[in-house]
Amino acid sequence: MRIATWNINGLKARKEYLALWLNERQPDLVGLQELKMQDNDFPYEFFENLGYQALVYGQKSWNGVAILTKIDGTLKTKGLIGQENFGSRIITAQFDNIEFTTCYCPNGKDTDHSDYQAKLNWFDSLISSFKANQEPNRILCGDFNIVVEALDSWRGDKATGDIFHTNEERMRMNELMATGLIDLFRVQNPNDQSFTWWDYRGGAFHRKQGLRIDLILGTEAILKRMHNHVIDRDYRKKQGELTASDHAPVFIDID
């Protein structure tokens, strides 16, 4: 089974690009973030023709998450209790024995902005929801907008204290993983500096100036089933006349 996450940075602009990737990589389950469209604008039929059903929690012009699946599943929840002001950012569904959640975590803007504390509060709510979750086969994936450790940033330790790189944000990620989740990439690649996001400006992708903020977290049971983890850099590049998202897709293969 191939399971993926991708911040698509606007589905309307990226629909055909996404179709290329789906046909090439053939994932079974995909968490999408930053749809920037409402549920009733989502191209359900387009993805059905590609073999995928969609579970959608959209929002006009901003945010929005979805799950594309080849596997029969059941929607469990949309949103976080008490965090409605931050919009459509998280959706959970059950697929066979896997509980799958994809999220688009708040950016925070800047450490001096009011959104920064609100971002930390949002993560506190996320942590609380996962503390109460005892599903043995859990996956939480998405754009976390936090650099877990210095190795995950092209600026390394020099970025510590900046937005995405603060001790408070990293503490939240550690608390989230303490609920029974594992950074599956880092287990397989303990010393590898790889990125999932690169700014469109300044040739950041070609200059290798990126961040690893798109993660697939899984329980010990998922780790034992995993035999491959890929940051799909080829799909951060332009494909013909189609422009890529500023994020690369990430996927795992499990038994």
> Pick from 255, 249, 252, 250: which is nearest to 8 by CA?
249
* Phi/psi of residue 46, nearest 5 degrees: -55, -45
Q: Is 253 a catalytic residue?
A: no
Looking at this protein, which amino acid is placed at residue 133?
Answer: N
- Residue of 28, 52, 57, 143 marked active site: 143
Contacts (Cβ under 8 Å, ≥6 apart) of 49: none
Q: Is 116 a catalytic residue?
A: no
Contacts (Cβ under 8 Å, ≥6 apart) of 65: 31, 32, 33, 35, 56, 57, 88, 89, 90, 91, 102, 103, 104, 142
- Residue of 104, 116, 183, 235 marked active site: 104
Identify any residues that bridge with 6 across adjacent strands, giving them in sequence order: 32
Alpha carbon distance 91, 100 (integer Å): 8
Which residues are annotated as catalytic? Answer: 104, 143
